[in-house]
Structure 1
């Protein structure tokens, strides 16, 4: 880039200088020639008025011509053609240089023709041309050198950024590129630092995810191993049915955890839009409410559920409602309320319970992965800390929003099927 910028600057300045030099020489010759013409006309007018017979000199040619057209004085180089008041540029016979001629009429008849050489004009233009022939390349070299130095200084931060980024590895995502300038390069550096911030957060989140998943998987595995070792060491202390019941329960826990982990992993990897299939969200809510009535002794209120249709993945949306309902059932004392309404192009799902609720400072953090806010959310209750994280992933993928609005109330807002995304 430095080479290209320097060459471009030299080329542009060189073309401008050459064009300017050509124009300068042309204008200089024209101006000097016009001045000689003016002097020749004035001299011819002076001689015609004084009626003095002037002879030719080394710097001036003069001819006096009578009314019959005969040369009566001045240069003996032959008859000059009468140029009139207009200057004529020509090389007279016997002279090896150009002259400028002008004429003036004499009162007694005839005319005076005066000519002066253009040698001074030609010398001046040749001198300027020689100066420009040397000066233009020198100026181009100066412009190239200055451009090279300035471009190098301007691009020095870019080189520093490149070196720093080249040295940053997956284990050094805490490093940042220098961003001290306040120009476009500084904006680039700050943008790259924000990108590194996102990469670091993503890397740390992935590391926490792997660590938490490993920790969660160790618990059922350790429980199965513990019961198996006890049964093997003390066969009389347990029965096959008790061991099978324990192993099956831990296996189901592990299966649910693995299913949740796979779902979140696929959500992290997939960046495609969900299907645009129409989904009647009210049918999914009624089905979940009926499941809770059958599986629990809680009072389930679904009278506030009205029609609401969205577009998306029906299986994922059903999982989202299921997780919200399970979360409510886990902490409700006696009652769960479902509500579904449409407002301003959105379908709003609200699920509330009469449990203790979530503290204000934790209402955002509750959607993070492997988060348990109270001892009640322990492994004995079957919670893994992934249910609400899955809810947030599903809602975000469907271009919606999810929030905890009053401790024990969750509100999911999804675009209506009638709204184009």
Structure 2
């Protein structure tokens, strides 16, 4: 897939994600808005209805107390009326603002309805309460102006009609930005993966080409071929290829968060460090001194094989660049961290390269032989193993030896 096509696909994903997010948010906001308006209208109508029922009940209690039918009064003639209606629809008593008018509603006790009146252009909410006067069945009607309910719900509706598009626009912009940032990370990861595959292919191509070249020479000129030399070359390149494949598999497991295969277990890190010291002393030239006097007891929790690889890669890196001395330091200071320090008296690492040296396929000296310098994965594996164990790696300058100093901090098993 070309980069242009890949970027088009990312843009399409961004557009689809934004559209889907906006549609979902729009549906949720519209549903919530409708619920808010309906709930507000219901609540306000109930408040008006309760107030009307309370006033009508007061009049009904006066009637049933045997005091006769009073002449009801209202404090806001434009917003309320009262009528006392007999069973045949005759108005027995009424407030001044509806005096002389027929019954404005025919309701049974306990009922309520919206009724048009001449008092206002908006309908009134009328509530009926039953009352008995000397055996005569009466109904007290209290009507309240419900325009406040309409005005409040209309105001909220307009605010929602104005605010919802703004919220949707903000949601669309936020989604567009968030998805764009996420896809940029994906694009960076995809670029890193492409670079990783390219570098891995290049590193694997080199030993394969070497083996093929020697094999073709042997086939073309068998009389000039030394079988032992050919076998040694093939074996050397096979070992190099095997180690590269092992490194690539380990990094692949790290990318899948599967580096700790056997589950975390207590590991005596000092045993691994001392084993690496012995290996370096037996495999390195006699002129190289490997100092382990500062290695103390320390236990961490993790995968023993992965930690052994970390220690070995640090040891090999130090031995490769050291002139005459490599030093290991291992301490558990009791602060919850175990610190492993590996130093050498080599040329060191420039300050500008100390972060990059932990990346994959990084060689600070590209001119050196690949066989001597490796594939540039050793320190990357150190960083991955440390990260998988919730640790960290720091690169600096050795104050005592003058070369490179690698410090690995790992959580102590005691924490």
TM-score normalised by structure 1 residue count: 0.68
What residue in structure 2 maps to residue 283 of structure 1? 271
CA contact (8 A) 2:338 2:409 kept: yes
Q: CA deviation at 1:381?
A: 0.6
CA 1:119–1:276: 2 relative to 1, 3 Å: farther
Any unmatched runs of 5+ in structure 2?
1-23, 59-65, 73-82, 106-114, 125-145, 398-402
CA 1:121–1:210: 2 relative to 1, 3 Å: farther
What residue in structure 2 maps to residue 353 of structure 1? 344
Q: CA deviation at 1:147?
A: 3.6
Matched positions, count: 335
CA contact (8 A) 1:100 1:117 kept: yes
2:394 is paired with a residue whose SS is: strand
1:321 is paired with a residue whose SS is: helix
1:109-124 equivalences in 2 (<5 Å): 118-119=99-100
What residue in structure 2 maps to residue 205 of structure 1? 192
CA 1:15–1:391: 2 relative to 1, 3 Å: closer
- Measure the CA separation in 1 of the matches of 2:272 and 2:27: 65
| 1:311 maps to 2:293 | no
Any unmatched runs of 5+ in structure 1?
35-81, 102-114, 161-178, 180-185
1:333 is paired with a residue whose SS is: coil
1:241 is paired with a residue whose SS is: helix
1:88-237 equivalences in 2 (<5 Å): 96-99=90-93, 118-119=99-100, 126-127=116-117, 131-132=122-123, 147=160, 150-156=163-169, 158=171, 179=173, 186=174, 188-237=175-224
2:376 is paired with a residue whose SS is: coil
CA 1:97–1:321: 2 relative to 1, 3 Å: same
Give the root-mean-square deviation of aligned CA atoms.
3.9
- Measure the CA separation in 2 of the matches of 1:93 and 1:301: 113
CA contact (8 A) 2:91 2:103 kept: no
What residue in structure 2 maps to residue 294 of structure 1? 282
CA 1:189–1:117: 2 relative to 1, 3 Å: closer
1:98 is paired with a residue whose SS is: strand
2:294 is paired with a residue whose SS is: strand
CA contact (8 A) 2:276 2:311 kept: yes
CA 1:99–1:26: 2 relative to 1, 3 Å: farther
CA contact (8 A) 1:370 1:384 kept: yes
CA 1:119–1:214: 2 relative to 1, 3 Å: farther
Larger displacement relative to structure 2 (265-274 or 139-148)? 139-148
What residue in structure 2 maps to residue 176 of structure 1? none
CA contact (8 A) 1:99 1:116 kept: no
Which of 314, 335, 347 aligns to 1:324? It is: 314
What residue in structure 2 maps to residue 418 of structure 1? 414
- Measure the CA separation in 1 of the matches of 2:242 and 2:88: 117
Larger displacement relative to structure 2 (135-144 or 242-251)? 135-144
Which of 11, 36, 40 aligns to 1:16? It is: 40
TM-score normalised by structure 2 residue count: 0.69
What residue in structure 2 maps to residue 369 of structure 1? 360
CA contact (8 A) 1:278 1:310 kept: yes
- Measure the CA separation in 2 of the matches of 1:223 and 1:340: 41
CA contact (8 A) 1:25 1:129 kept: no
CA 1:132–1:25: 2 relative to 1, 3 Å: farther
CA 1:194–1:239: 2 relative to 1, 3 Å: same
| Larger-Rg structure | 1
- Measure the CA separation in 1 of the matches of 2:295 and 2:212: 46
